[in-house]
Amino acid sequence: MAHVIRIGLLGLGVVGSAVANALMEKGDHLTGRIGRRLEVARALVRDGDKPRGVDRALLTLDADDILDDPEIPIVVEVMGGENPAHEYIVRALRAGKHVVTANKEVMAKHGPEILSIAADRGVDISFEASVGGGIPVIGPFKLDLVANDIHELRAIINGTTNFVLTQMATRGADFAAALADAQRLGYAEPDPRSDVEGVDAAYKLAILGSLAFHTVVRPADVYHEGITTLSPADFRYARELGYVIKLLAIGRARDGAVELRVHPALMPESEMLAKVDGVFNAVEVEGDLVGRILFYGRGAGAGPTCSAVVADVIDLAQRLAACQASLWRPTYDGRYRFRPMDEVSTRYYVRLLAVDRPGVFAQITRALGDAQISLASVIQKQNLVVGDPPVEYAEIVLTTHEAVEASMQTAISAIAALPVVHEVGSLIRVAS
Ligand code: NAP
Ligand code: HSE
């Protein structure tokens, strides 16, 4: 009988349950490939009474049962959140265990230190599932793309928000209902504010940015905005203008600085990223040698995430069986400073409500001109009646040529302060 490699699961929720099932169902097949039998030894949960499709004897409420067990060489962390997950990962590595994690928050906040602890202890931490769900993207950055200088990456890396945006754009779905569907389907984080406020995508961009630009990127280095302020009118106007709205993660290295930002963006509907819908994610990378490449697949959900986690487990198990350590270590060359959001240059879409009378456009364009911003297009859309007593306003949609963020913010404050302007409803960047 093949030797057994015992695995400790920290968490048995959406991802953990799928991992446990896959390891059990594919047992014989994997044993044939690895030459060792993979066995789920224990699974840490919070609630021992919750009905689950596994043998209750596997469950434990005490992490020490896994972290202090010398017979468990591989720990899979799929519990989520910063703590105690971070503490458990570090304890496992210090105890000489290999770790697989799907935890973007921990890897974004503590990745460099965790990788260094693993290197010192001669063990591995694998984190393919932390970005892009089932899409192989960490592996290519670690291995296949290392010959390149990466100039740019643009990505859709949150399945929940892409699902919600697709539902809103194509079915006119209500935000709350679409988010509830994403939660029911197992895409959302335990606290979905992390998804819809762009925090989850910012964690993922910090991880990808560190690998792509060989720079230690912390979550605080990534500017982020979420999708909660988008209105049905924006989807309608975006479509009329030939765009779709996506929550885009952008990393761009230029002139010795790297900019990292996550925010909703209007994308020309002809672009490949614009066609990435529902729970699908995509990461578009531009390297000096390879040119532009695109990674595409399901970015969240039990199956795709389990695919990445189990692949990492198999890789570690194969190396354990062969007594081979991984040679990969991150390299940080300090080549780039971070470009603050104020200095980023992009195009903009603005939707506002203003009094419908002659001279109003002139005031708005003057405010933009004073900030050195050039208009690309202005359209007066339908008139809306708002307020009590009711007042009729014109809805105006304008787009600009490329402008510096700080200038745009100055112009928007000036426009919002104009007595003829009722409100600036949206300011959305246009992908370029
Ligand atoms: P989940 O369904 O909420 O499962 C979390 C599991 O961890 C549950 O079994 C929970 O126990 C256990 N747990 C949480 N905190 C614990 C604590 N303090 N002590 C003991 N057990 C604890 O979450 P998930 O969707 O599987 O996500 C897990 C991780 O994978 C997260 O880092 C997430 O970001 C990442 N991820 C998820 C997806 C996805 O599509 N869902 C995709 C990629 C990455 P109980 O069952 O008793 O509550
Ligand atoms: N909540 C995350 C998402 C899970 O929706 O993308 C995958 O990391």
Q: What are the pLDDT tens digits along the chain (432 aa)?
A: 569 999 999 999 999 999 999 999 998 899 999 999 999 999 999 999 998 888 899 999 999 999 999 999 999 999 999 999 999 999 999 999 999 999 999 999 999 999 999 999 999 999 999 999 999 999 999 999 999 999 999 999 999 999 999 999 999 899 999 999 999 999 999 999 999 999 999 999 999 999 999 999 999 999 999 999 999 999 999 999 999 999 999 999 999 999 999 999 999 999 999 999 999 999 999 999 999 999 999 999 999 999 999 999 999 999 999 988 787 889 999 899 999 999 999 999 999 999 998 999 999 999 999 999 999 998 887 788 888 888 899 999 999 999 999 999 999 999 999 999 999 999 999 997
Q: What is the pLDDT of residue 325?
A: 79
Which atom in ligand 1 lies closest to the alpha carbon of residue 188? 41
Phi-psi group of 250: left, alpha or beta (phi > 0 → left; psi -120 to 50 → alpha; rest → beta) = beta
Give the pLDDT score at 2. 60
pTM > 0.85: yes or no: yes
pLDDT of 108 reads 98
Residues of the chain with CATH 3.40.50.720: 4-133+302-321
Atom of ligand 2 nearest to the CA of 201: 6
CATH 3.30.360.10 residue ranges of the chain are 138-298
- CA distances 197 to 200, 266, 291, 424, Å, are 8, 17, 32, 20
Handedness of CA 254, 259, 260, 265 (dihedral sign): negative
User: Which residue has the CA at smallest separation from atom 1 of ligand 2?
Assistant: 188
Ligand nearest, relative to CA of residue 192: 2
Q: Sign of dihedral through CA atoms 26, 7, 61, 105?
A: negative
Dihedral angle, C-alpha 377, 381, 383, 387, nearest 10 ° = -70
291: left (phi > 0), else alpha (psi -120 to 50), else beta? left
Name the class of domain 4-133+302-321: alpha beta
Q: What is the CATH number of domain 138-298?
A: 3.30.360.10
**Set 142, 204, 246, 381: catalytic member:** 204
* Residues having CB within 6 Å of any atom of ligand 2: 133, 158-160, 187-189, 195, 200, 299-300
204 is catalytic: yes
Query: Could you tell me which CATH number the domain at 344-430 has?
Result: 3.30.70.260
* 81 CA: nearest ligand 1 atom: 32
User: Where, residue-wise, is CATH 3.30.70.260 in the chain?
Assistant: 344-430
- Looking at residue 34, its pLDDT comes to 92
| Dihedral angle over CA of 97, 103, 107, 109, nearest 10 | -130
Q: How many CA atoms lie within 13 A of 266 on its CB side?
A: 25
Pocket test for ligand 2, best of 14, 189, 193, 305 (most atoms within 8 A of CB): 189
Report the C-alpha gap between 280 and 18 in whole angstroms. 19
Let me know if 421 is exposed, middle or buried by CB neighbors in 10 A (0-12, 13-18, 19+).
buried
